[in-house]
Amino acid sequence: MKTGTLYGIGVGPGDPELITLKAAKILSQCHHVFAPASERARESIALSIARHHLRPDAKIVSIEFSLTADRSDLSARWARAASQVAAVLRAGADVCYLTLGDPLLYSTYAYLLRELRKQIPDLVAVTVPGVTAFSAAAALSEFPMGEGKGGVTIVPTSDDLQTLEQALAGNGTVVIMKIGGRFERVLEILDRTGRIQQAVFVGRAGLPGQRVEPDLHGMAKPEPGTGDLSVILVHGAGEAVP
């Protein structure tokens, strides 16, 4: 029996209308849909965005991903998740795997794809790109991502935040992602490096509770969860701020 095709579908940052035509077409035809959900979420955000485009009889399976930093635990979890998907593919059915933003930018899809290629060496995979969170944030805040020959650096925050400080020491635009509970520490670094005046905050782009803040000084005492699903864009040193 011919193995089914894996489709990695980027559903964009939040607005269902930002799903590409190609993604919408594939989703409307796919019987088996796998959607990632965090340990804290009741439903996958990616699924809530894509649901309107799914066929009525689609079989939806939620895959819980862990926030642990334990690499062996993560590897074991993704191996189990890949086994679930592989069983459907080996039965000859196509599978759609949903992911926020773009499938190959800080996405769970990359882990799943890697594990599936171990289990099914001749796997046929089609990755459908999606609108990134920072692209949506730039559009909402009228933030030019790149100007002239200036560089753009994407930084996922980590617990030590050293990489962020190094990026802010340069001259180009900095995109700060994966902020989560480190929001206040990120603000401190922006203030200390003199870049806070050049930054704009966008939270939950295209989702309920969307927030665009051009004045980060006013966010010094954020509510819990402010950093979740958020992006901070920082103009390059010397660039004009709109």
pLDDT at 68: 57
* Rg of the chain over all Cα atoms, to the nearest angstrom: 19
Tell me the domain boundaries of the chain. 5-128, 133-234
pLDDT average, residue stretch 36-54:
84
Contact 206, 14 (CB under 8 A): yes
- The 3-state DSSP class for residue 63 equals strand
Query: Tens digits of per-residue pLDDT, 147-165?
Result: 888 899 999 997 789 999 9
Supply angle C-alpha 227, 195, 204, rounded to 5: 25
pLDDT average, residue stretch 36-45:
75
* This prediction's pTM: 0.91
Number of neighbouring beta carbons within 10 Å of residue 35: 25
Which fold, 5-128? Answer: Cobalt-precorrin-4 Transmethylase; domain 1 (3.40.1010)
From the list 242, 235, 216, the residue with the least C-alpha distance to 145 is: 235
Query: Tens digits of per-residue pLDDT, 125-150?
Result: 999 999 999 999 999 999 999 888 88
Can you spell out the DSSP letters for 195-216? -GGGEEEEESTTSTT-EEES-G
pLDDT more than 90, % of the chain: 79
Quick check: do 5-128 and 133-234 share a fold? no
Contact 196, 217 (CB under 8 A): yes
Cα-Cα-Cα-Cα dihedral sign, residues 172, 140, 49, 21? negative
Which fold, 133-234? Answer: 3.30.950
Query: Tens digits of per-residue pLDDT, 88-99?
Result: 999 999 999 999
pLDDT at 70: 66
pLDDT at 69: 62
From the list 66, 9, 64, 1, the residue with the least C-alpha distance to 32 is: 9
Residue 229 has pLDDT above 80, yes or no: yes
Look at 73 and 63; give whichever has higher pLDDT: 63
